[in-house]
Structure 1
Amino acid sequence: MAAPGGAEAPAAGDALWAEVRGLLPGAEEGLTLALSGEVEDCVLPLLRRARGLLYGAAGRPCGEAAAALRRLGDVLRDYSWEKLNVGPWREVSKAWRQVYAYGCLFGVLAEVAAGRPLLPAVRLCDMGLLMGASVLDNVLARLVRLLQGHLPRAERRAAAEGDAKRARREPAAAPAAQAEEAVPLLRCPSLEHFRDNWLVPQKPVVLEGIIDHWPCMKKWSVDYFCQVAGCRTVPVELGARYTDEEWSQKLMTVSDFISQYIVNENHLGYLAQHQLFDQIPELKEDIGIPDYCCLGEGEEDDITINAWFGPEGTISPLHQDPQQNFLAQVFGRKYIRLYSPQDSENLYPHESQILHNTSQVDVEDPDLVKFPNFRKAAFQSCVLMPGQVLFIPVKYWHYVRSLDISFSVSFWWS
C-alpha cells in the first residue's frame, strides 16, 4: 500500500530495500569503485563518500543520509556528463562512463532508500545503461529489472490499451516485384546448401521457417511492448529517414514513443538501436541467433544484434553495411530493394565521410537528371513478411520502407 504523497509504506519500503541491497556486495570493501582509466583527483573521494553513506547506515539510508547520497549521485552524473559530451563518442574514456554509471547507481539507491516513486529510479537505471559503462557485474541491468517488477501495474503499462488498438490500421500496398527481379525464397536450407549457394557467392535470399520457434513470433505486439517496456527510456530517431535535415535523436520512454510516433500517423520516428536487448533482457530471451551465423569467422559474442521498431512509412535510405546481415521480420511488412556492390558507381554515394555508405538517390522517386546512371543499376526486391529472414551480403546496397507498424531484428556478423 502506498503512503501519502506517493512514497511506499515503511514495511514495503524495507522489503524492497532488502531486495535492492541483495544485488550489492555485502561489505563496503566489496564495492570496489574500480575504474578503467584515470579521472580527475576530486572524483574518487566523491565516490568513496557515497559508498560510505550507503554502508554506514545500520539499515537503509534515511533522512539526511539518503538526501546526501542523492546529492552525490547528482554531482557525479553532472560532472561526468560534461566529459561524455566533449567530442566523438568513440573517444570518450570508459572510466568517465563508469563514473556516470556509479552516479546513476547511487542516485537510484537514494531514491529507493527514501521511499520515493520508482519511475525516476527506473529512468536513472536506463540512463546509466545507455550512457555509462558496466560496473559491479552490470548491476544496473539487474537493478532495473527488479524495480520494474515493483512498479504499479498502471505505471508499467503506461501506454493505454486504446493506443495499441488505434495503432492497428489497414495495411499499405507494396510495389509489385517482377519475377526476374524478385529475391529468391528458400525454406530451411541446410548449412552446407546456404554456404555454397548464397554465402560464398554473396547472393541475397529470403529464408523461411528458421525463426518460427522464437517466442517473439507469438508474443510480440505493440500492446506487449507497452506492458513489458512501456516505462523504459530508450533512444529514438525522429524523422522519416536519417538523411533528412530535420532528422534528430531523442531519449523517451517506450510508451511515449508508441503514443507519439506509432499511434500518431502525422509523426515519423524509429526506435533503432543495438543496446535494446542488453538493456531489456526480457526481450532478448524471446529471440535467438540464426544457426547460419556459425558459418562466420567470429564468435557469437561478436555478433551485433539491432532492434528496428517503427511506424508505416519509415525509410532506411539506400545504404550498405560492413558486415553480413540477417534481417528477421517479427511483425509488420517491409518493402526492400537490393543492389549489388558492383553497381556502386551508379548509386551515387555521398562524398562526405559520414555518409559515404549511403546513396544520394531516392530509389522510389529518383532524379534521373541529376543521377542519370542510376537507371543502369539492376536491383532485386521483396516484401519481407513476418517470420521471414533476409540475408543481405556484406556491402550489398539495400533500401527499406516499412509498409506497416513493424518490428525487425538484424544480426550483423563476419
Structure 2
Amino acid sequence: MASLWSKISAVLPLNEERFPLQFGDRVESSVVEMLKRSRRQLYSDSPSASRTLNAQVILDISWERLNTGTWRHVDKEWRRVYSYGCLFKVAALCRENPSEDEILQAVRTCDMSFLMGAAIMENILQDVVQILQSEIRKSAKDEDDSEHAEVKRIKIASPHVPVIKDQLAVPRIKCPSLESFNTNYLLPLKPVILEGIIDHWPALNKHSWSIEYLRTVAGCRTVPVEVGSRYTDEDWSQTLLTVNEFIDRYILCKDGGKCPGYLAQHQLFDQIPELKEDIRLPDYCCLGEGDEDDITVNAWFGPGGTVSPLHQDPQQNFLAQVVGSKYIRLYSPEDSDKLYPHQSPLLHNTSQVEVENPDAERFPEFAEAPYLECLLRPGDVLFIPVRHWHYVRSLELSFSVSFWWS
C-alpha cells in the first residue's frame, strides 16, 4: 500500500496554484477559506489529524446544504463543495500507509461524491476511485468454495414460469431495420420484443454478469438499494450498501425470499465505468429527438420475486434483459381509467391494483382492460412505448438495463 499516495498524487494538479477552486457568491467566503486551507494541506506536510478535521468540516457544512429543502432546489455549487470535501477526505485517508479499512472508506467517500456531489476537476474522483479499486483487487482473497457452490445453486434454480397465451403475447421480431421499427412500432406506439440486437454486448459474452464478476468489478462500491418487494409497500425503504453487502444480504438470502431488496439506479454506469463498457446504446435510440446525453440508462438488479407495480413512464423505454427472466404485462394508456391510478401526486403514475391478485370489488373495471404480456429472457429487448402501463415481476435472480429516451 506504500505506493498508493504516489499514484493518487499523479492524477492531482502538480501544485497548489494549478488546483482550481472557483465558486459563485452562493458559497460563503468562510467556506471557500476552508477549502483553500485544505488545498494548502494537500501540498504540504500538515498533520494527518488536521487534514482529516478540515475535510470533515467541509463535508458537514455542505451535507447540511444538500439536505435542506428538495433535491431539485439544491444549488450545484454546494454539490461541488461536497465533492471537494470528499476529495480532501480521500487524500487524508490515503496519505500515510492506509489500512485496507481506510482504503475501503476512501472508496465509499468517492461513491458518496458520485451520488450526492457534482463532478469537479474533469471528474478527478473517478480516476482516484479506479486507483483505489486496483489496490483492493490486488489484496483481495479468493472467494471460498462454499460461496461458489451457493452462487451456482442460485443460477440454476428453476423459476415458476407463467404460461403466455398466444393471443396476449407481445410480438417478437429479429433485428428490424430502423425504418421498419419506426413505421411499425415507434410511430404507432406498439410494444414489441426485439431479438438479436444486444447479442454483441460484453455483458452477455466476454464479461458475463455473474455474481462473481459483479463482486470483482463493483463489490466494494456503495450504491442505493431499495428494500422491500415493491415501492408501494408501507415497509419499503431505501438505504446505502456496498454491492457485496447487497449480494450477501438480498441475493444470497437464505430466508426463502423473505428479504427482498433491489438495486435500482440510474447513476450506476457513470459510477462504475467497467459496467458501462459492457453495454451499448440500442441503435434505435437514434430515432429519438434528443442527443445521446439525454438518454437515461438505469440498472435493475435483484432476486426473484421482486415486483415493479403497474406504472407508466413519461419516455420511451427499451428494457434489455441481461441475466435471468421476468414476467411483464402491458396496458395501453387509453385504458388508464380501468387501471385505477393513485390519486396522490406522488404516485399518480402508479396503479392501485395488484395485477396478479386484483381486488374485483374495489377495482371492478380492471378485468375489462385489455393487455399484452411476455417473458423477457437474456438477450431480449422490450420496447415499452411512452406512457404505456407496465407491470414487472422477476422470476429469478435478474439484471436488466433500461434506456429511457424521447
User: TM-score of the superposition, structure 1-length normalised?
Assistant: 0.93
What is the distance in 2 between the residues matched to 1:27 and 1:90?
A: 35
What is the distance in 2 between the residues matched to 1:384 and 1:196?
A: 23
Opposite residue 334 of structure 1, the aligned amino acid is K
What is the distance in 2 between the residues matched to 1:230 and 1:128?
A: 18
- Where does residue 28 of structure 2 map in the other structure? 40
Deviation at 1:37, TM superposition (A): 5.8
Unaligned runs of 5+ in 2: none
- Where does residue 116 of structure 1 map in the other structure? 98
Query: SS at the partner of 1:305?
Result: strand
1:334-353 equivalences under 5 Å are 334-353=326-345
1:164 aligns with 2:151: yes
- Where does residue 68 of structure 1 map in the other structure? 50
- Where does residue 196 of structure 1 map in the other structure? 183
Pick the aligned partner of 1:79 from 53, 61, 79: 61
Contact 2:5 2:96 in 1 (8 A): no
- Where does residue 317 of structure 2 map in the other structure? 325
Q: Quickly say closer, same or farther: Cα 1:342–1:156, change in 2 above 3 A.
A: farther
Q: Quickly say closer, same or farther: Cα 1:37–1:354, change in 2 above 3 A.
A: farther
- Where does residue 127 of structure 2 map in the other structure? 142
What is the distance in 2 between the residues matched to 1:80 and 1:332?
A: 41
Contact 1:236 1:250 in 2 (8 A): yes
Query: SS at the partner of 2:47?
Result: helix
- Where does residue 256 of structure 1 map in the other structure? 245
Contact 2:260 2:306 in 1 (8 A): yes
- Where does residue 359 of structure 1 map in the other structure? 351
1:229 aligns with 2:223: no
Pick the aligned partner of 1:401 from 381, 393, 397: 393
- Where does residue 413 of structure 1 map in the other structure? 405
The sequence identity of aligned pairs, in percent, is 57
Query: SS at the partner of 1:306?
Result: strand
157-166 or 270-279: bigger deviation: 157-166
Deviation at 1:34, TM superposition (A): 2.4
Contact 1:185 1:205 in 2 (8 A): yes
Q: Deviations over 1:184-233 (max 9, x none)?
A: 00000000000000000000000000000000002211111111111110
Deviation at 1:78, TM superposition (A): 1.1
Contact 1:157 1:228 in 2 (8 A): no
What is the distance in 2 between the residues matched to 1:388 and 1:210?
A: 8
- Where does residue 262 of structure 2 map in the other structure? 270
- Where does residue 127 of structure 1 map in the other structure? 112
Pick the aligned partner of 1:211 from 188, 198, 205: 198
User: TM-score of the superposition, structure 2-length normalised?
Assistant: 0.94
What is the distance in 2 between the residues matched to 1:324 and 1:152?
A: 39
1:9-48 equivalences under 5 Å are 13=2, 15-35=3-23, 38-48=26-36
Q: Quickly say closer, same or farther: Cα 1:193–1:140, change in 2 above 3 A.
A: same
Q: Which runs of 4+ in 1 moved over 2 A?
A: 34-37, 64-67, 152-169
Q: Quickly say closer, same or farther: Cα 1:216–1:377, change in 2 above 3 A.
A: same
What is the distance in 1 between the residues matched to 2:386 and 2:24?
A: 34
106-115 or 273-282: bigger deviation: 106-115
